[in-house]
Chain A
Amino acid sequence: MKIKYTDSLIIGGGLAGLRTAIATSAKGLSTIVISLVPVKRSHSSAAQGGMQSSLGNCIMGEGDNEDVHFADTVKGSDWGCDQEVVRMFVQTAPKAIRELASWGVPWNRIKKGDREVVINTKKTTITEKEEAHGLINARDFGGTKKWRTCYTADATGHTMLYAVTNEAMRLGVQIEDKKEAISLITKDGQCFGAIVRDLKKGGLTAYVAKGTLIATGGYGRIYKQSTNATICKGTGHAIVLNAGGYMGNMEAIQFHPTPIVPSGILLTEGCRGDGGVLRDKDGYRFMPDYEPEKKDLASRDVVSRRMLEHIKKGKGVMSPYGEHLWLDISILGRKHIEKNLRDVQDISKTFNGIDPADKDKKGWMPVLPMQHYSMGGIRVTPKGESVNIKGLFSCGESACWDMHGFNRLGGNSVSETVVAGMIVGDYFGDFCKKNNINIDTKMVEDELNKQDDYLNNLLKLDGDENIYDIKNEMRIIMQNFVGIFRNGKDLKIAVEKLKTLLQKSKNIKIKNKCRLLNPELEEAYKVPMMLKVALCVAKGARERTESRGAHHREDFLKRDDKNWLNRTISYWKNEDDLEPTLKYEKLDIMKMEMPPAFRGYGKKGNSIENPISQKRQNEVDKITKEHKGDRYELQEKLMPYELQEIYKEKNQRLGDENE
């Protein structure tokens, strides 16, 4: 038996996994990171627009702080998030960005004096303060009150990922790329590591660890059209499902308003943040009609729906790939585009032959909402530990700890990866330090043999199904029946069809019988994993008879705080089940710092209120009114939360003395 031991095993080498590895290494734990690809190619590298952090350095960010960031994030989530987790996040984000600066992320910096920006399509001059010169700059993003998104042009994820990888290498973290975890080693509700497949040679090895953390990102590839990289298949979620672990809110899927048509490559929200606008077939800027206040910069779920609503009114642009709308950044001027939106320009030129800096219509880019982000994931506590498997942790996009609820704000995802890596990484490291395990080699060997047999048996199957057809069909079902606009009828069809596909995936035939490097064999074990994830999404969506954030039901248009202020838990009860079992976790309004209310964008009066919301609001108002002391003490009174002392420290800002 090939077996390898480490204190901490981290599955996934993107920003969240690598930042976690830094945390465990700092505690003196031996740490191995395994990754499907060389870690600097992880999907984190594709994050473009920026990272939210309430530094409040730039003039348009003046007055920003944790409280404002908190409120934006909770509203963005449509009250589906865990507010304590959001507090942990907003308090740590400024520290994360400052740490990253010291590791070399070349954040765009503020230049004192006048500069010209485009606000509401008008050229406007803003004046940066003398004392802010050289501090980290920020741009505007959707659903935020302040300019809070810090950036390096439109390659923010890239520079962050490089800095974090470099720091991990400096600390001697053992990074093993081209490795894939295909199952977890678990016994009696505890995780002891994973069975790992070598993608360079094809063999299996058991990695045994005191603690295992999953940071494998999202599962967008279950959809036909997604901005996600080819590796975002949700196999990290599937191995947890196969071990009996719980998922949270898998139906909460974000559709980004502006991937380019037809390739589905993302064009950052920074395009609109910097002043770009959406236009219809007549060149008309339609978003202000729907969203008078936030216009093109309402939250992503709202903008995506408004776009499709507008297309349904006959305002879409016809193309061989169906209808789309235009994204116009030409109004920002060539100089700005070639400096701050250069990757967008490169993508548009290469894949569509359009230079977005060209004047007027010539530079407009065809866009259409597509799958972009997975709010749901492995259900974990605020400390990042699985709620039902001991020794198993998760953070970043793969986890549902649950910071985003039913809609994530742009710029909050890369921010979350690093912040969660800091917080959860620290708790995870403590867990690995404290918990010794007794290694039952028989158990390890059994799991290794089980997986070995499974792969051999896949090669022996002699059915008449083709795994590529099954995968393609799954992606089309998700696209057509579990998309932006959902309804009971479609969702019912989707669940049934996906179940059939899962059954069919056991009746395939693989042409090439090579056991080692065999792409077809890889599909054969991955597609059933993807199907299980897809079933969690579809069934969760079918059962949730309300509209909240990105989950929009045409047959249940209102947000239902009375019946649906809860989190969907999905899991695989028996190995041979064809669908997940669901249950629900209630959200406690009486503990919320901000009880449910109107988001400030989207349709008004569109919720079924829970009487407890008002009761809690009255209580919050009373505490606030009677409070004497600073905002930190008030926050503590309203909703105390646990966080490591170093992360709870106050964040220094310009104008602190005014508080």
Chain B
Amino acid sequence: MSREITIIALKYNPSDETSKPRFAEYKLPETAGMTLYIALTKIKTTIDHDLSSDFVCRAGICGACGMIINGKPRLACKTLTSEFKDGKITLLPLPTFPLIKDLSVDTGSWMKNMNIRVNSWIVSTQKTDISKFEKKIEPKVAEDIFELDRCMECGLCVASCSTAIMKENFVGAVGLNRVVRFSIDPHDERNDADFYELIGDDDGIFGCMSLLACEDHCPKNLPLQTKIAYMRRKMVMV
């Protein structure tokens, strides 16, 4: 027999002056293999048409649905309700990012600023002739870049980072990982001194306090701890 679960979600619409933050409680029967995406969709279509959240791929690929789930930043679409033994799940929007409404936050603006801040693109003076052979890359190097390129800007590392909560302009593990990713890409001509210009300060590599909640909560299991340490060592040498 299926049990009944209780979902408690923060409700608040900052664009409505009459709206006050409050918790709404929903009770619904749990179905086999139920994820928070399925549960929230059920709530939205049958109990509370007004509940807002951010689901896109619902497969753990796009990184849209980060929330604080019983105190931990996680992707809601990848979270199964069966994990919670007492059947009680409390949902809060991700901190650090501006709240749009209820569980929906604006990660887009934050990530855009970060991308521009760390110049998150290939910098090269080479002109590519696209009808000729591509530049040869060692297979292992391509794999190493791919490993770091798997970051999906979900923002869970930012939401779990004490520095990011205190310092508005801190680029977070997502930004530092990005710099490492470009620093090992043979297409990119930047050197350590160039990267130092971008992240050689307290809003960059020296802002990290090594608490490493970022790595604990990264849904892609990126090696953030070793990569940040690697970058810090390099930046100290510049």
Contact check, A265 vs B58: say whether CB atoms are below 8 A apart. yes
| Chain A contacts for B63, CB-based, 8 A | 40-41
Q: Which of B62, B120, B126, B182 has the most CB of A within 10 A?
A: B62
What string of 1s and 0s marks CB contacts (under 8 Å) between A139-176 and chain B? 00000000000001101001100110011011000010
Flag if A45 contacts B33 (CB, 8 Å): no
Given A101-B134, A102-B122, A350-B78: A46 and B61 interface contact (C-beta under 8 Å):
yes
A512 near B130: Cβ-Cβ < 8 Å: no
Interface members, chain B 133-156 (any A CB < 8 Å): 133-139, 142-143, 145-146, 149-150, 152-153
Alpha-carbon gap, A364 to B40, bound state (A)? 29
Determine if B142 and A109 form an interchain contact, defined as CB atoms under 8 angstroms apart: yes
Set A41, A108, A202: member contacting B139, Cβ < 8 A: A108
Q: Considering the complex, which residues of chain A in the window 263-314 have a beta carbon less than 8 Å from any beta carbon of chain B?
A: 263, 265-266
Q: Contact between A468 and B46 (Cβ–Cβ < 8 Å)?
A: yes
CB of B150 within 8 A of CB of A158, answer: yes
Interface of B: prevailing SS: loop
Indicate whether B35 reaches chain A with its CB closer than 8 angstroms. Answer: yes
Return B34 CB to nearest CB of chain A, in Å: 10
Chain A residue at smallest Cβ distance from B115: A169
- Report yes or no: B122 in contact with A200, Cβ–Cβ below 8 A: no
Interfacial chain B residues near A40, Cβ < 8 Å: 62-63, 111, 152-153
Min C-beta distance of B40 to chain A, whole Å: 11
Residues of B within 8 A of A169 (CB): 112, 115-116, 120-121
Q: Which of A498-554 contact B (CB under 8 A)?
A: 510-512, 514, 516-520, 523
Interface size class of A (residues with CB under 8 A): 35 or more
Chain A nearest CB, measured from B60 CB (Å): 6
- Contact between A520 and B152, CB atoms less than 8 A apart: no
For B168, what are the chain A residues with a Cβ–Cβ distance below 8 Å?
Answer: none
A109 in contact with B33 (CB, 8 Å): no
Which of A130-138, A250-258, A327-335 participates in binding chain B? A130-138
Q: Is the CB–CB distance between B149 and A159 below 8 Å? A: yes
**Is the pair B128, A109 in contact by a Cβ cutoff of 8 Å?**
no
A229 touching B35, Cβ below 8 Å: no
Contacts of A219 in B (CB 8 A): none
Contact with B along A624-652 (1 / 0, CB 8 A): 00000000000000000000001001111
Min Cβ gap A366→B in Å is 11
A106 touches B146 (CB 8 A): yes
Interface centre among B15, B49, B61, B119 (most CB of A within 10 A): B61
Q: Which residues of B are found within 8 Å of A108, using beta-carbon distances?
A: 139, 142-143, 146
Would A106 and B33 be within 8 Å (CB), given that A135-B136, A230-B58, A516-B15 are in contact?
no
B56: chain A residues within 8 A (beta carbon) = 37, 41-43, 229-231
CA of A37 to CA of B64 in the docked complex: distance in angstroms? 8
Interface contact B16-A102, CB-CB below 8 Å: no
Given contact pairs A41-B63, A517-B101, A158 touches B152 in the complex (Cβ within 8 A): yes
Nearest CB in chain B: distance from A418 CB, A: 12
Q: Do the beta carbons of B59 and A103 come within 8 Å of each other? A: no
Contact of A229 among B13, B62, B128 (CB under 8 A): B62
- Residues on the A chain within 8 Å of B45, using CB: 468, 472
B112 to chain A, nearest CB (A): 7
> Are B57 and A468 within 8 A (Cβ)?
no
Fill in one digit per residue for B38-54: 1 if any A CB lies within 8 Å of its CB, else 0: 00000011100111101
- Give the shortest distance, in Å, between A143 (CB) and chain B (any CB): 25
Q: What residues of A have a CB within 8 angstroms of the CB of B78 in the complex?
A: 350
Q: Does B166 have its Cβ within 8 Å of any Cβ on chain A?
A: no
CA gap between A170 and B60 in the complex, in Å: 27
Q: Does A38 contact B (CB under 8 A)?
A: yes
Chain A: minimal CB distance from B28 (Å): 15
- Minimum C-beta distance from A32 to chain B (A): 14
CB-based nearest A residue for B110 = A38
Residue pairs across A and B with CB atoms within 8 Å: the count is 206
A352 contacts B by Cβ under 8 Å: yes
A169 vs B113: C-alpha distance when bound (angstroms): 11
- Kindly state whether residue B195 has any CB partner on chain A within 8 Å: no
A28 at the interface (CB under 8 A from B): no
- A655, CB-defined interface residue at 8 Å: no
**Shortest CB–CB separation between residue A93 and chain B, in angstroms?**
11
Task: Determine the chain A residues whose CB is within 8 A of the CB of B120 once the complex forms.
Answer: 166, 169
Of all chain A residues, the one with the shortest Cβ separation from B122 is: A104
**B142 smallest CB distance to A (angstroms):** 5
Does chain B have a CB within 8 A of A67? no
State which residues 66-103 of A face B: CB under 8 Å.
94-99, 101-103
A448 within 8 A of partner (CB): no
Given contacts A95-B130, A516-B15, contact A41 B49 (CB under 8 A): no
Q: Give the distance to chain A from B91, nearest Cβ to Cβ, in Å.
A: 16
Q: Does B187 contact A (CB under 8 A)?
A: yes
Pick from B60, B133, B134, B187: contact of A346, CB under 8 Å: B60
Number of chain B residues close to chain A: CB under 8 A: 64
Residue on B nearest A44 in the bound complex, by CB = B62
- A514 nearest CB across to chain B (Å): 6
Q: Which partner residue on chain A sits nearest B132 by CB separation?
A: A652
Nearest CB of B to A208, in Å: 24
> A41 near B64 (CB under 8 angstroms)?
yes
User: Which B residues are CB-close (under 8 A) to A106?
Assistant: 137, 142-143, 145-146, 149, 185
Q: Mark B105-129, 1 if CB is under 8 A from A, else 0.
A: 0111001100110011110101010
CB within 8 Å of A: which of B141-179? Answer: 142-143, 145-146, 149-150, 152-153
CB distance from B116 to the nearest CB of A (A): 7
Given contacts A107-B142, A158-B150, A202-B15, contact A98 B134 (CB under 8 A): yes
**Cβ contact within 8 Å between B59 and A98:** no
Report chain B residues within 8 Å CB of A200.
Answer: 15, 100, 106
- Report yes or no: B146 in contact with A99, Cβ–Cβ below 8 A: no
Mark contacts of A613-631 with chain B using CB atoms, 8 A cut-off: 1 yes-contact digit, 0 otherwise.
0000000000000000000
CA distance A651 to B132 in the complex (A): 6
Q: Are B108 and A38 in contact (CB under 8 A)?
A: yes
Give the docked Cα–Cα distance between A155 and B52 (Å).
28
B13 to A, closest residue via Cβ: A517
A107-B142, A178-B108 are contacts. A43–B57 as well, Cβ < 8 Å?
yes
Which chain A residues lie closer than 8 Å to B55 at the CB level?
Answer: 230
Q: Is A46's CB under 8 angstroms from B131's CB?
A: no
Residues of A near B188 (CB, < 8 A) are 104
Hey, which chain A residues are within 8 Å of B137, CB to CB? 101, 106-107, 109, 134
CB-CB under 8 A from A202, the residues of chain B are 15
Contacts of B146 in A (CB 8 A): 106, 108, 152-153, 155, 159
Within 8 A of B (CB), among A464-504: 468, 472
Q: Which residues of A contact B52 (CB under 8 A)?
A: 517, 519
- Determine the distance from Cα of A159 to Cα of B150 in the docked complex, in whole angstroms: 7
- For B138, the chain A residues whose CB sits under 8 A away are 109, 134
* Minimum CB distance partner of A654 in chain B: B133
Query: Do the beta carbons of A102 and B128 come within 8 Å of each other?
Result: yes
Interface residues of A in 429-458 (CB under 8 A from B): none
6 CB contacts below 8 A, A to B, read A46-B62, A104-B187, A135-B133, A158-B61, A230-B56, A514-B50
Query: What 6 pairs across the A-B complex have the smallest Cβ distances?
Result: A134-B136, A38-B108, A166-B121, A106-B145, A649-B131, A520-B49
Query: Given A45-B152, A178-B100, list of 7 further CB < 8 A pairs?
Result: A42-B62, A134-B139, A155-B150, A159-B149, A350-B80, A519-B49, A652-B132
